[in-house]
Structure formats: C-alpha cells, structure tokens
Amino acid sequence: MLMASAVRTRTHSPSSPPSGSVPHTPLGRDPATTLHHVRRLTGMELLEALPARRGNRGAREIPYRATALSWRLDWRDEDGSATHEAMLEAYLAEVADVGVERVDQTRLVLALDEGGAAEFRDRLHALMQEFAARAVDPSGSRQAVYVAFYPGG
C-alpha cells in the first residue's frame, strides 16, 4: 500500500467487479483487508487521508497518500517492534504481489568492526537519501528497496 501510494494517491474503494464476483480494490485486495491496512498505516502516520471526493457512482471516496514518514523515522532509539513488523509485512506482501521471480535480490554477510559497520550503514543511507530526494518522474516506474541489517551467520 505504501509503495502504491508513494507517487499517486489511492483509495480503498472497490472497483466494479464482474457480475457474481467479489469486489476488489485497485490494489487487488478485498475492501475489508485493504481498509484494515489503510487504517493501520494512517494510525502510524505512514499514510495521510486527503479531502473526500465523489467516485464514479457518487460514492464518497477518501484518497490516501504516502507521507514518506517511513523514510524519515529513526527507530534505533525506541522499541518500534510493531512498526518494524509492519514494514517487514509490507515488504513480504509487495514481493508476493509482484512475484519473487521479479525481485532482484542479493544477500551479503560482512565481518566489520564497529567503525566499518557504521561507515557501511552511513554510506548506504546517504545513497538512498540522494535518490529519495530526487524529483518524482511521473513517467518513471516505481522501484522499491528494502534493506535490513541483522546479525549474520
């Protein structure tokens, strides 16, 4: 949901389903599941509701936009376990949606002292910050990046 809302606004309203089928939102989920996640993300201030509007059939729709708060948060100084879990769940859901075969992934285990580990994180963060600060290209395709540091084996 965050990735889908990062560049353009989205609503949780269902699209018109074919006759006899279950309605799905524009994100391919049933409306109740989508609304649950929208409310959870809004409560954590990762999504923001925009002014309500009228949909195709006159129904009230509330568009949502990603706040980019997930990029600005610093969870190192707090427990943040619920937020960390939500980020991991979002990543796994996005991978499931696009298919693991379309994920360009790599894994690296490093043996670094404290200074080297800090340098690695700082340089990677600076690179990600540089790209996050770029102006959005409306014709560009969205790219998602998930990074996790953890004790390696």
What averages of pLDDT result for each successive group of 10 residues across the chain (153 residues)? 46 47 54 80 80 85 74 56 77 87 94 96 93 87 88 81
Provide φ and ψ at 63, rounded to 5°: -75, 150
pTM (predicted TM-score): 0.56
Contact 6, 66 (CB under 8 A): yes
Q: Map out the domains of the chain as residue ranges.
A: 2-132
Cα–Cα separations (whole angstroms), residue 146 to 85, 104, 125: 13, 11, 12
